[in-house]
Amino acid sequence: MDSAPEDVAHLLVRCLQAEGVEYVFGIPGEENIRFVDALNGSGIRYVLVRHEQGASFMAEMYGRLTGRAGVCSATLGPGAINLLLGTADALTNSVPLVALAAQGSLIRLHKESHQVIDMVSMFSPVTQWAAQVQCPDAVPEMVRKAFRTAQSERPGAVFLAVPEDVEGAFTTARLTPLAVRTVHADAPSAAQIARAAEVVTTARRPVVLAGHGAARAGASVALVRFAERLNVPVATTFHGKGVFPDDHANALGAVGFMRHDYTNFGFDAADVLVCVGYEVQEFDPVKINPDGDKHIVHLHRFPAEVDRHYQVTVGVEGDIAQALEALADAVPHRFPHGGAPERIRALLAEELEYGRRSEAFPLVPQRVVADVRAALDRHDIVLADTGAGKMWMARLYPAYAPDTCLLSNGLSTMGFALPGAIAARLARPGRRVLAMMGDGSFLMNSQELETAVRERVPLTVLVLVDEEYGLITWKMELELGRHRHTRFTNPDLVAYAESFGARGYRVRTAGELLPVLRHALDDDAVSVIACPVDYSENLRLTDQLGELHGPF
């Protein structure tokens, strides 16, 4: 074996290989050319993007779908700043991500210097660990620490800066990347299970809330068994959609909408909440425990955040699937009210049916959700970008498997879905991938169409066209009774898509959407579908929800 010292660029690449990295998403800069060059022939595919923000969203979505940190890379200063949004999104969405950036040479960091800003300070609040590589020999430890930190529960983002002179410097001897070691979950403590069982056993109406942590833990099967054995209803967070199949008789739908939605009514009468892999960052628990009087059993790998509306009665920290099995074994009976309240399921189904039958043009959002569901198979992936469309998708889209309906609910950023779809397709090549975005969100990162076309990553973008920041109009109308500063105009989206070498489609009647979606999804190409939507349904929905009264 070669025992000669090696430069940091090559050592860094070997360390990434040891971590199993498949892709680096990024834009090179003058200060990291050695690293980018060293990736050649490494087996790691460098995906050149058109904005570092796109790279950060790609890394995030890769991390979300694989559980292994997605890697994004940028130059110093402006490039690194552009990585911030996806990095923060990953942290708040509990997704493993490693952001790499160049930095000016150590010899000039003590002074005012071209393109130099203090990036470690800048990334610290949006990462679990932010550090600068100070000397070549530290690289194996720092890379291992970065991936271990990012990938262990609670996963999140990590940032490493590599100064230009360090990147070109040599180690003192040939170093070996550190072996990958995974932090495994402990079995839940028997004493905690017994305490949790006591709370659940004495409950009158328990309800389960499953968050994204349950998806990360692969606890879907255990969750279904738990629901069936105890006969309890299960709601998911927006972020956890699909971790409990929405076509199961005990499914209560997703909770997190800005108003008291159907699913919320399922929580009103509950006295005990069994929260599985839920983090309060996913949505404010005031929505399900407004008086703070419900007993909470918290099953997760780590303790819950302190929150007035989420005061844990019993916390069980450890392997989530094992905790569910043990808890089901320890609760001696089934609950009579178990299945999801029929009325809630019926209301959700009615809304989708209304959509399915609507021939209105522009399309009502319910029709869009119904057609997207009809076009995608159970395991295909839809990314719903932040906006009014996300609200409709989160509430109504029936998801049947974890991580098949992806949205950002930690930071709720706009603009992630197109770059995210590129990574989703790379991470899950067998699945068809749809990015559903408002026209505002699409234009925030539409340059990544070029990346998708050049890198030959087939995907479909469904743009909901309303020529405004519709969600904000909705909120302004709800709370102020008027809206201002939310309208804009769009380019010709079909011509725009075609100018990138993508295929463009314009929906002209309600009946056109489903066949166009099916055609685009089956096509081995990048497609953009411009679909006009009628968001007068938004206020109709919130008015209607305001008039709903429980108990259900």
Ligand X SMILES: Cc1ncc(C[n+]2csc(CCOP(=O)(O)OP(=O)(O)O)c2C)c(N)n1
Q: For ligand X, which is the closer residue by CB, 268 or 534?
A: 534
Q: For ligand X, which is the closer residue by CB, 13 or 126?
A: 126
Q: For ligand X, which is the closer residue by CB, 43 or 491?
A: 491
Binder of ligand X out of 52, 371, 466, 537 (CB under 6 A): 466
Q: In which region does residue 538 sit, left (phi positive, over 0), alpha (psi from -120 to 50) or beta (all else)?
A: alpha
To the nearest 10°, the Cα dihedral for 466, 468, 472, 474? -40
Q: State the nearest-atom distance from the C-beta of 158 to ligand X, in Å.
A: 22
Query: φ, ψ for residue 41 (rounded to 5)?
Result: 75, 5
- Which residues, in sequence order, are CB contacts of 501 under 8 Å at separation 6+? 450, 453, 526
Q: For ligand X, which is the closer residue by CB, 256 or 389?
A: 389
Under rule CB under 6 A, residue 366 binds ligand X: no
**Tokens found for residue 334:** 């089934």
Beta bridge partners of 102: 162
Binder of ligand X out of 472, 478, 494, 525 (CB under 6 A): 472
Under rule CB under 6 A, residue 471 binds ligand X: yes
Q: For ligand X, which is the closer residue by CB, 65 or 368?
A: 368
CA 88 – CA 94 distance, rounded (Å) = 10
Under rule CB under 6 A, residue 440 binds ligand X: yes
Binder of ligand X out of 388, 407, 417, 427 (CB under 6 A): 388
Q: State the nearest-atom distance from the C-beta of 110 to ligand X, in Å.
A: 35
* CB-nearest residue to ligand X: 438
Separation in Å, CA 360 to CA 28, 102, 494, 510, 535: 48, 52, 22, 6, 12
Residue in the block written with tokens 């990048």: 526
Instruction: Identify the sign of the CA torsion 528, 533, 537, 538.
Output: positive
Angle at 70 between CA 75 and CA 423, to 5 degrees: 100
Residue in the block written with tokens 């009615």: 350
Are 242 and 398 spatial neighbours (Cβ–Cβ below 8 Å)? no
Q: Which of 103, 223, 94 is nearest to 149 (CA)?
A: 94
Binder of ligand X out of 412, 445, 527, 542 (CB under 6 A): 412
Binder of ligand X out of 470, 505, 517, 542 (CB under 6 A): 470
Under rule CB under 6 A, residue 469 binds ligand X: yes
Q: For ligand X, which is the closer residue by CB, 23 or 535?
A: 535
Binder of ligand X out of 351, 439, 448, 537 (CB under 6 A): 439
Beta bridge partners of 162: 102
Under rule CB under 6 A, residue 389 binds ligand X: yes
Q: State the nearest-atom distance from the C-beta of 87 to ligand X, in Å.
A: 14
Kindly indicate which of the ranges 268-276, 284-292, 436-444, 498-506 contains the residues binding ligand X, using the contact rule CB under 6 A. Answer: 436-444
Q: State the nearest-atom distance from the C-beta of 469 to ligand X, in Å.
A: 4
Kindly indicate which of the ranges 87-95, 197-205, 295-303, 435-443 contains the residues binding ligand X, using the contact rule CB under 6 A. Answer: 435-443
Are 268 and 204 spatial neighbours (Cβ–Cβ below 8 Å)? no
Q: For ligand X, which is the closer residue by CB, 160 or 417?
A: 417
Instruction: Identify the sign of the CA torsion 194, 195, 198, 201.
Output: negative
Under rule CB under 6 A, residue 445 binds ligand X: no
CA 26 – CA 49 distance, rounded (Å) = 6
Q: State the nearest-atom distance from the C-beta of 487 to ligand X, in Å.
A: 10
Under rule CB under 6 A, residue 386 binds ligand X: yes
Q: For ligand X, which is the closer residue by CB, 307 or 534?
A: 534
Interface size with ligand X, residues (CB under 6 A): 19
Q: Which residues bind ligand X (CB under 6 A)?
A: 386-389, 412-415, 438-441, 464, 466, 468-472
